[in-house]
Amino acid sequence: MSLSDRLNEDMKQAMKSQNKFRLSVIRMIRSAIKNIEIDQRTTLDDDQVLDILNREIKQRRDSLQEFDKAGRDDLAEQAKAEIEIIAEFLPQQLTEEEVRVLVQQTIQETGASSKAEMGKVMSALMPKVKGRADGKLVNQLVQQALSTTQ
Question: Domain of 73: which CATH number?
Answer: 1.10.1510.10
Q: What range does the domain containing 138 cover? A: 96-148
135 and 110 part of one domain:
yes
Q: What percent of the chain has pLDDT over 70?
A: 99
104 and 34 part of one domain:
no
- The torsion angle over the Cα atoms of residues 11, 17, 20 and 21, rounded to 10 degrees, is -80
Kindly report the CATH number assigned to the domain that includes residue 141: 1.10.10.410
65 and 102 part of one domain:
no
Examine the fold and report which residue of 40, 67, 87 is the final residue of a domain before the chain moves on: 87
As a whole number of angstroms, the distance between CA 114 and CA 128 comes to 21
33 and 73 part of one domain:
yes
Query: Looking at the 3D structure of the chain, how many domains does it have?
Result: 2
- The answer to whether residues 100 and 141 touch, using CB atoms and an 8 Å cutoff, is yes
- Per residue in 32-83, pLDDT tens? 999 999 999 999 998 899 889 989 999 999 999 999 999 999 999 999 999 9
Residue of 31, 135, 133, 49 whose CA lies nearest to 89: 49
* Ramachandran bin of 88, using left for φ above 0, alpha for ψ from -120 to 50, beta for the remaining angles: alpha
The whole-number pLDDT of residue 130 equals 82
